[in-house]
Amino acid sequence: MLRQYTTGSYGPHQEGPVIAEIRTHLPDDEASSRMALLASGFADPGRIRLLSALAGGAVCVGDLALALSVSQSSVSHQLRLLRSVGIVSSERRGRHIYYSLAWPGAVKVLRELLGAIGGSERWQDPATAGDHTQEEE
């Protein structure tokens, strides 16, 4: 079966320095699986908007739901998924739970994705955005 994949319209392919060089850049199976899991956090338009909302600082579920015009249940569901892959963390403050980006690379990924579609002019730099935390009793 390997022969079927290594022979094609360009002729036979053999092990050699080119293949060895390519393999030096390949992550192992475990790393590939972990990378795919992390990437899944960015694989939904709602999660992209949610992560973008968190780029400026910690926000509670109610504020996120209002800002994104979705139900608190929907926001909570997406946040659970993002927590499970390590992109988002949470902190209880009184009666409310505030969520923030746990993985610093998330902002860079968001910026790169937006730039890839030519939308970087709409991105507010998180460094200039304030913390959306409001102490509520």
Of the candidates 5, 134, 130, 122, which has an alpha carbon nearest to the alpha carbon of residue 55?
A: 130
Q: What is the third-level CATH fold of 2-122? A: Arc Repressor Mutant, subunit A (1.10.10)
Most confident of 11-15, 24-28, 129-133: 24-28
The 10 Å CB-count burial string (b at 16+, else e) for 65-101 is beebebeeeebeebbebbeebebbbbeeeeebebbbb
Whole-number mean pLDDT of the chain? Answer: 85
Query: DSSP E strands: which ranges in 5-87?
Result: 7-8, 11-12, 59-60
Instruction: Say if residue 45's pLDDT is above 60.
Output: yes
Q: What is the pLDDT of residue 136?
A: 43
Q: Give the range with max mean pLDDT: 11-20, 21-30, 121-130.
A: 21-30
Given a cut of 50, is residue 54 above it in pLDDT? yes
What are the residue boundaries of the structural domains of the chain, listed by start? 2-122
Decide if pLDDT at 84 tops 70. Answer: yes
Mean pLDDT of 22-41: 92
- For the whole prediction, is pTM greater than 0.95? no
Highest mean pLDDT among 18-27, 58-67, 125-134: 58-67
